[in-house]
Amino acid sequence: KDDTVDTRLRGLQLAGFYTVIELILSIPCFLIAGYDYTIFYVVVLSIVILMAIFGVLRYSRDVVLSSLIFCYLLNIIILPLIYIYGGGMYGGIELVFVCGIVDGLFLLDGFIRIASEILFFVWYLLVMVYSSLHKEIMHNTPGGAVAVFSVVMCMVFSTIVIITVMEYEGYLLKIKQRTVSISVRESMNSANTKSRFLTNVSHELRTPMNAVLGMSELIQNSDNDGRLTEEVSIITQNARDLLSTINSILDYSKLESGKYQMSYDQFDMDTLVRELVSEASIRAYEKGIELFVSIDPSSPNILYGDNIQIEMIMQDLLHDAINSVSDGRVLFKVYGEFSKDRSKAIYNAEIYDTGAGIPEKEMKSIYSSFETYDSRQDSRIKRLGLKYSVFKGILKQMNGDFSLQSLEHIGTLIRIRFETFCVDKVVIADKQYTTGRKVLLYAYGEKGIAYIEEALSMFNTLVDITYMPEDFTKMFRSGRYDYILVSDKGYQDVADILKEAERASVFIITDRMSAPADFDFFRIIRRPVSALNLSDIFFERWEDMDYEGAEYMEGFTAPDASILVVDDNKVNLKVAESLLSRYEMQVKTTESGFSAIEILKNQSFDLVLMDQMMPGMDGYEALRLIRNNLAIKGARKIPIICMTADSGGDVREKAMKAGFNEYLMKPVKETELDRILLTFLPYEKIKRSLSGGAASTEQIPG
């Protein structure tokens, strides 16, 4: 068992050694049985031949050829001779044939093994049949006790051969397992080292990126004359691209090392898609491109899965699609269905854009384009390749898939699929309540009318579409319609006739910057029109105040609320102060967990924003000490939010398990900050801000 010797060579040596020993030990057995000297000559000749083979092997080191010669000499010449001169069937020598066949299985490989084993088997049959028909060629035919003795000895030798082969195969298996184990351990150590390195590097990169993006937004907001708008926009966009690449690198390293963890939580698809569409529609409107949305209202709604990653993937794909289009359109389509046992939801999403597309030569290697450096390759393709590989890996963990189709100068179509658990059998909107309702649509000048018609048909409504004011007037006065939808582009043509309508049944399709006051205070429905905002109409989810006041809302303030921000980075504290200044809150900052504890002993706060990674005492340790400190008033009830530059599906889960109320990803997005403040600040301290700067006395539910 010398590990320095090749296993194949070791096997041949073992087979040859045992065969020689067996032949030597057979000599006294033949003497005891009273056989003539012919068998001894055969045995000695066999030993000499085998020793010669191993002598040649010593110099040639051709193990394959030596194994082949050994097996053929043993099975074609040596064992048949011993069979004939050792008593044949009466001496049990045929049992040794099995040993020869086993040696062939043990030493030979591939097609040679199969062909040789068939040849050996046929040859042994011929030898036994021929010898039984021509008994005159047989020598030393034993009888009585001698025959029994011969059979027993052959059984012993055969058994030892088979046991030896099995033991050696087991030994080889252990060697293979040990080799695999060492390889796996080395691979895991390498992957873990790389993962830790990338995690630390990514965190260190994300931290200053928070400052870059934060300060860029502050400059942009304070640039009243617009002189720096273009320059700051370029900085912001490139910083976001870099941040996206950093996130992709970190996620890819986790996927590659097998340490990527999904974060499961209950969510509803209705809200998730609404937020995506709301954000995407703002960007599309600012860029002057068309965004169309198609949502199947019969899709499962209340789900349990990694909503953070699902939202991130679709948000990123929508963002890329809008950025790639300079003058065209983007289509966002989402549809899902229940599994057969209705325990899971199977969702599909499609994002199509009429942007620049991806060249055919780049499409062939897009998933591996980031693995090698090629100065001729478009850096945008490399970023997309890395990002798409990450998305594909994440979706695979959701039993899903990612597919990409693109034509240069035509556009790109991306399809994603994923599975989540269903909490119940609720759908986004139950169309049984809308079946048969009648809708009149005045579509003059409206783009994407096909998508609006499709959305209406999903509710099983009866839709009449007209483009002419005269036709609209006739249809309207027929009084057959439950709802009337009018494009803002043709509103003035039918404004007079609409005065005859019941106000609650009329909805004006318009853009984000319009308000009900622009249309004689008729209710409005924002583009893009989809099953989501149509369901708000059909199920009367909006009150008058929603139409007449909510659309004016630019934000909210909380002048009576106090907040403590804890971060060891002074620039991050500056960014946080600037972001929070628009809420008019009382903000206090500190640079360590130690000082945060002392401040909380002497002063009460409505909310604490705590950095996760700080020297001396990190956010987790500071949280634990705050919660268990009796000197801090309401220590267990203070909402403490984890601010982190780490990304990944398990970040929120770790923070929540540690005792944080929620987490906030750096760089901080205003929409996420709004959500945190509205959720955790006291209800009575939040005041709504209307356009024009007037503050409403009405509070927003927290």
- pLDDT at residue 700, rounded to an integer: 34
**Cα Dmax for the chain:** 128
Per the rule left: phi > 0, alpha: psi between -120 and 50, beta: everything else, 592 is beta
Section 527-532 average pLDDT = 92
Q: Identify whether the C-beta of residue 346 lies closer than 8 Å to the C-beta of residue 331.
A: no
Section 270-288 average pLDDT = 90
Q: Which domains does the chain have, with CATH numbers?
A: 7-184 (no CATH), 265-422 (3.30.565.10), 431-550 (3.40.50.2300), 555-689 (3.40.50.2300)
Q: What is the DSSP letter of 74?
A: I
pLDDT (tens digit per residue) in 86-99: 766 665 566 667 77
Q: Return d(Cα 678, Cα 465) in angstroms, integer.
A: 41
* Percent of the chain topping pLDDT 90: 31
Q: 616: closest CA among 565, 656, 568?
A: 568
- pLDDT at residue 42, rounded to an integer: 78
Q: Return d(Cα 498, Cα 510) in angstroms, integer.
A: 16
Three-state secondary structure call for residue 152: helix
- pLDDT at residue 84, rounded to an integer: 78
Q: Residue 128 — pLDDT band, cuts 50, 70, 90?
A: confident
Q: Identify whether the C-beta of residue 335 lies closer than 8 Å to the C-beta of residue 296.
A: yes
Q: Please say if the pLDDT value at position 317 is more than 50.
A: yes
C-alpha distances out from residue 359 to 139, 234, 239, 325, Å: 82, 25, 26, 16
CA angle 18, 23, 89 (to 5 degrees): 115
pLDDT (tens digit per residue) in 134-191: 777 776 665 555 555 555 665 666 666 666 666 666 666 677 777 777 777 776 666 6
Alpha helices in 223-268 (DSSP H): 229-257
In DSSP notation, 310-374 reads HHHHHHHHHHHHHHH-SSSEEEEEEEEEE-TTSSEEEEEEEEEE-S----HHHHTTTTTTTTS--
Q: What is the DSSP letter of 408?
A: T
Q: Is the dihedral of CA 642, 646, 649, 653 positive or negative?
A: negative
Pairing of strands 438-442, 483-487: parallel
CA angle 330, 332, 336 (to 5 degrees): 165
- pLDDT at residue 544, rounded to an integer: 45
pLDDT (tens digit per residue) in 675-691: 899 889 998 898 865 44
**How many CB atoms within 10 Å of residue 607?**
22
pTM: 0.62
The position carrying tokens 């599909």 is: 348
